[in-house]
Each structure stands twice: as C-alpha cells, then as structure tokens.
C-alpha cells in the first residue's frame, strides 16, 4: 500500500492532466512568504484552563461528522470533507485529548474524484472501524461524486496509507461496519423507505446487510429495515441517520442521529439481542441534544448529534459528535466542529454526561492525561496563533485544496510558496488554484504576505473567504491599464436567489514594488479587509462588511468558512474605474 506522509512541496509528475505547472517563477504567479492566523474568541478569555482541564471542541473549524475507533492504546478519528482535497482528514491520539493529524484517508485521485462538484457534495459521513479478527482498519463512506456511491477502503496501519476504494452494492448514505465477536460483519446505513412507503418529508430508515469480509461486499438480498422513521414513527421524526452498532454485555446497541443536522439535531439509541434486530428504542431518548434551551443563551453550543462511541484510557466510554458555536447573530461561519463528552453507561443505555444540559467550554481530562494541545505537534484549540512561513520541507495537513490536489498548483521557491494560477474562477465548479485554511474562531485575523505582479485584468491574486462557490469574498490585486488595483469583491447567493451575483465593493490603486500584506479580520459577524504596503500600518478597504454570506445557515450547505490563498488567470470582473 502507498505510504502516507505529509506531501512535499514539489510538483508531482503524475498530476499533469490536472494542470500542473513547472516550478519556474511565472510573472503572473503570486508568492506567499508568510501567513498568520490568530483566534481571539472571548469565551476562552472568560474560561481560562486550570490544571486537569481541556477545551471542547477538540477540533475547531469544519471537521464535522466524526467517527472513531480504537486499537490498543491508539485512537483514530475521521471527519467529513465534502469536495475538499485530499479527503477525509484522519487524526490520531493516545488519550482522547491530544490529537495529531496523520494525513487524509483519500489522498489520491484514484480514490477521490470531486473535480466538478459543489463544495458541499463529495464525501459524507465516514465511518472507521478496526476489525480484530484480521487486524485491519476499514473506512466506509458515501462519495457523492465520481460515480462511486458507497465505498470502503482498508489498511493495516492508518499511518501508512489506504487502499483504492471498493464500490459497495447498496444505495443510501452514512454507512458503517460492525464486526461481531464471532467474526461476522454487518453494514448499516441510512436509506429511503421502500418504494411507495415514504410517509412524510424526511422519513428515512436504517438498514442492515450481512457483509462478506473475504469479498468486501454486502451479501445480496440480506438487507433488512431495522428502524423505520426513528424512535417514534407517529411523531414523524426526520433524518434518522449516522448509525453505529456497539456490543455490550451480550446485547447490541444501535445509536443514530435524529432530527436533521440543524437546530433539532439529537442522538438516540436502540437495543436488541441480535445485530439484525429487532431493535427497541431506549425510554430516555434522546441521549444527547441541545435543542431544548433558550436561543439567546451565552456561549451557545447547538446542533449536537451525529455521534460515535469508544472506550477511553480510563475505561470510561466517550462520545465524539458534531456541534456548532454560532456567532452573536446566530450564524454558523465556523461550521460544524468535533466535540467530545464522557458517556455514562452504568445503566442499560449510554447517556452523554452533560449532553442534555447547556454545554460548557471546558472538560476534565481523563485520569493521568496531560493537556498538550498546541504543543509537540498536537492540534491546538482555544485561542491560538498559527504561523506558516512555507520554509518547511513539508506542507502542513491543515492546508487543503478544493476539487483537486494542491500539488497541481503549488510549488516551493526561495521566497515562499508560489501558486500558479489556473484559468478558473473561484465561482466555477472546477478545481481552483486556492490553498485553504479553515476558519476556527468567530473572532480571528488571517494575514498573508504576498509578492505579485499581475499582467492583465485577467490576473488576480490575494486572499478569499469562502463558504461556497456562490457565497464568498475575494480580496486581491489585479491590473487596470497601467495601474495595479486592490479590490474587494462580494459574491452572494442566498437561498431565495436563483443565481449568484458579484459586486466590487471597493477598490484602490496600490503600490506593489514590495510585498503586500492582505488581512481579513472578523469580530463575530463584522468582517474587515485590510492591507499594508511597504511594512506600513494597515488600512481598511470597504469598511465593515457582514459575514452572513459565509455562514452555513444563510448560504446553505454543510461546510464552514474557508480562508484561502487564491490566484486566477481568468478573473471575471475587473475593478471599477478609479
């Protein structure tokens, strides 16, 4: 199997068909020498960590739909990635507190084809399971692109890469694999009801299949509906999904999300004496939700659900799940993040501890664990500053592409990271020459130092704040006649609009003899775009603009806002006359 590692900043010959360019400096290629991201949320100032504590969420930013598995003292966690490339980020921990990203499961074009899809399509809701019977890890997911559908990939060691995908013969979404003590395997997933039996909008079912481990395929004709609608069909529950089966004390527990991945989201559980059912719902459902509390509560965490369970290092169960931290206008710019809570399973059914009361920003660590978040290569959380000067031999996994490999447009130079522009615009459903970093705070700054000399109005480079291809801000430099012009452009498409519209909000002539600093700074819903020339102080362009178009609940979709280093040779809208 291909060995996984952080990908060197070189141009990979095998990507020629995707528009790879040589490392030779091109006149219309910007070079980014430094990027600084600083998170500054008030909640972390109000709740400083004390000894034996860590912050929730454990993964800030767009890391939704978490799934987790364990082999010995090693924990592996995966998340949805949609049309981001590479796909399905994977993290490792030995204690459930300190996490390191070890790569992506789908890191090759032979595994993932998202080149012409919307950002919220692509790869949904991965499941990850370790099979003790053959010492193999399985990642199963739905790929809404490339004609794959439901797929599974395998590895003996998640740190050394994964197989090419095996297409599975069933429809629906959110698959997971369960391996029983006797070696038998089962696949469960969300699906539509049988034809003609859909009772209402959002009516879904959970199905189970027998799984042939030798052939890596579901057994034809073995499918069976084990949950119809949800906990109580008479109440018309919507979107029963994200199923996982666990075995405890000789019984089988089926845990699912219910209510849709929004304000009514929750986690529910069922029990059976056999993995194929029948399953009976727990009388105390839901076992996790934040839907019952006042909308205006302080430090709100909401949309909690889509969970997975694992036994922790202190022999206590824990659950990872998605939730959101909206800004002061209840907008979801950060996206759905990965949270964790201890789970009380002393009774018949598991219950998330403090998962049915308003969630707090801090948790007590498992016994004997030291908080090293942000140190020794572990992911940071809380407020932090991340600096990237692109001098390292390898590019951090946090930097991602969209619809195609980042190696198709990046190269390392003596002065920094060069982005060779594609003839595609940020609004097109094609791979773009943009290197993205996830927005991880409601209040933050993202500052990039760029050397660039555009050759025409078609050339543009700078930074972009992107919720999707139809909702974004571009803050970049282009050319108008003999002048170099910095512009701020807004592209917007709300759920009421049929088409996206673009508007130049502001522009100014700029001196590019020396590198320019471009900055986006946000305080909740208020975003500011600033620039500095020749090391002088920052100046604002365009005043205060709303971050509403960067929020999931305004723009739609399933992702959080992405902050990108962007270049194009197909700039569609030139600057206004000065």
- On whether the CB atoms of residues 541 and 418 are closer than 8 A, the answer is no
Rounded Cα distance between 171 and 194, Å, is 12
Helix (H) / strand (E) containing 43? helix 42-46
Active site (annotated) includes residue 210:
no
What are 444's two structure tokens?
Answer: 């933050």
What are 263's two structure tokens?
Answer: 């304000």
220-227, long-range: CB < 8 A, 24+ apart: 220/169, 223/170, 224/276, 224/277, 225/193, 225/194, 226/188, 226/254, 226/272, 226/276, 226/277, 226/278, 226/279, 227/254, 227/256, 227/270, 227/279
Ranges assigned E (strand) in 325-455: 337-344, 351-352, 362-364, 385-388, 401-402, 410-413, 416-419, 434-438, 443-451
Q: Which of the following is catalytic: 41, 113, 241, 337?
A: 241
* DSSP of 160-202: G--PPPEE-S--SEEEEEEE-TTS-EEEEEEEPPSTT---STT
Task: List the one residue out of 487, 485, 483 whose CA is nearest residue 464.
Answer: 487
**Pairing mode, if any, of strands 443-451 and 516-523?**
antiparallel
The verdict on whether omega for the bond into residue 524 sits within 30 degrees of 0, i.e. cis, is no
Burial class (CB in 10 A: 0-12, 13-18, 19+), 357: exposed
Q: How far is CA 130 from the centre of its chain?
A: 22
Rounded Cα distance between 552 and 320, Å, is 21
Q: Which of the following is catalytic: 41, 65, 174, 459?
A: 65
Can you tell me which residue has the tokens 């996490």?
99
Task: List the one residue out of 251, 207, 259, 209 whose CA is nearest residue 231.
Answer: 259
Task: List the one residue out of 110, 87, 121, 123 whose CA is nearest residue 17.
Answer: 110
Rounded Cα distance between 202 and 155, Å, is 35
Distances (CA, A) of 121 to 83, 117, 146, 386, 508: 6, 6, 11, 29, 36
Rounded Cα distance between 4 and 100, Å, is 14
Three-class SS of residue 443? strand
SS3 content of the chain, % helix, strand, coil (to 5): 5, 45, 50
What are 233's two structure tokens?
Answer: 């069909």
Q: How large is the C-alpha radius of gyration of the chain?
A: 24
- On whether the CB atoms of residues 206 and 240 are closer than 8 A, the answer is yes
- On whether the CB atoms of residues 367 and 374 are closer than 8 A, the answer is no
Per-residue b or e along 526-556, where b marks 16 or more CB atoms closer than 10 Å to that residue's CB: bbbbbbbbeeeebeebbeebebbbbbbbbbb
Active site (annotated) includes residue 241:
yes
Instruction: Give me the active site residues, please.
Output: 65, 241
């Amino acid at each position: 199997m291909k060995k996984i590692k952080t990908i060197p900043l070189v141009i990979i010959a095998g990507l020629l068909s995707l528009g790879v360019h040589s490392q030779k400096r091109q006149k219309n290629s910007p070079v980014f020498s430094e990027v600084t991201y600083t998170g500054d949320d008030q909640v972390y100032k109000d709740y400083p960590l004390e000894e034996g504590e860590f912050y929730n969420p454990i993964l800030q930013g767009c890391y939704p739909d978490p799934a987790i598995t364990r082999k010995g003292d090693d924990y592996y966690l995966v998340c949805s990635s949609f049309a981001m490339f590479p796909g399905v980020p994977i993290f490792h921990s030995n204690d459930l507190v300190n996490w390191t990203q070890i790569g992506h499961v789908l890191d090759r074009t032979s595994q993932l084809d998202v080149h012409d899809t919307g950002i919220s399509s692509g790869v949904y809701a991965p499941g990850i399971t370790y099979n003790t019977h053959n010492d193999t890890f399985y990642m199963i997911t739905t790929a809404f692109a490339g004609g794959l559908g439901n797929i599974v990939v395998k590895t003996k060691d998640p740190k050394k890469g994964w197989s090419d995908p095996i297409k599975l013969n069933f429809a629906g979404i959110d698959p997971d694999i369960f391996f029983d003590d006797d070696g038998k395997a089962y696949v469960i997933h969300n699906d539509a009801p049988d034809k003609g039996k859909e009772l209402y909008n959002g009516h879904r079912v959970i199905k189970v299949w027998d799984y042939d481990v030798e052939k890596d395929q579901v057994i034809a004709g073995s499918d069976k509906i084990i949950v119809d609608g949800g906990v109580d069909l008479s109440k018309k529950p919507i979107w029963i999904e994200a199923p996982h089966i666990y075995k405890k004390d000789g019984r089988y527990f089926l845990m699912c999300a219910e209510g849709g991945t929004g304000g009514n989201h929750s986690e529910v559980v069922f029990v059976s004496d056999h993995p194929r059912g029948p399953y009976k719902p727990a009388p105390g459902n839901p076992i996790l939700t934040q839907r019952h509390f006042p909308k205006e509560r302080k430090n709100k965490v909401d949309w909690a659900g889509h969970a997975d369970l694992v036994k922790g290092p202190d022999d206590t169960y824990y659950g990872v799940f998605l939730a959101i931290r909206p800004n002061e206008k209840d907008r979801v710019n950060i996206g759905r993040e990965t949270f964790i809570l201890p789970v009380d399973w002393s009774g018949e059914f598991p219950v998330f501890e403090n998962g049915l009361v308003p969630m707090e920003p801090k948790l007590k660590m498992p016994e004997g664990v030291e908080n090293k978040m942000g140190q020794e290569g572990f992911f940071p959380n809380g407020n932090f500053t991340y600096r990237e000067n692109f001098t390292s031999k390898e590019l951090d996994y946090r930097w991602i592409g969209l619809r195609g490999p980042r190696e198709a447009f990046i190269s390392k130079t003596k002065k920094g990271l060069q982005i060779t522009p594609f003839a595609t615009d940020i609004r097109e459903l094609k791979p773009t020459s943009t290197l993205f970093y996830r927005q991880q705070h409601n209040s933050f700054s993202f500052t990039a130092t760029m050397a660039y000399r555009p050759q025409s109005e078609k050339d543009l480079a700078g930074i972009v704040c992107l919720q999707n291809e139809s909702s974004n801000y571009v803050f970049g430099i282009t050319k108008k006649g003999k002048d170099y012009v910095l512009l701020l452009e807004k592209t917007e498409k709300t759920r009421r609009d049929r088409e996206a519209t673009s508007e130049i909000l502001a522009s100014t002539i700029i001196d590019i003899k020396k590198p320019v600093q471009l900055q986006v700074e946000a305080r909740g819903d208020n975003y500011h775009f600033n620039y500095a020339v020749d090391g002088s102080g920052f100046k604002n362009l365009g005043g205060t603009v709303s971050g509403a178009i960067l929020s999931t609940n305004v723009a739609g979709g399933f992702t959080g806002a992405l902050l990108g280093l962007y270049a194009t040779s197909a700039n569609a809208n030139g600057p206004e006359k000065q």
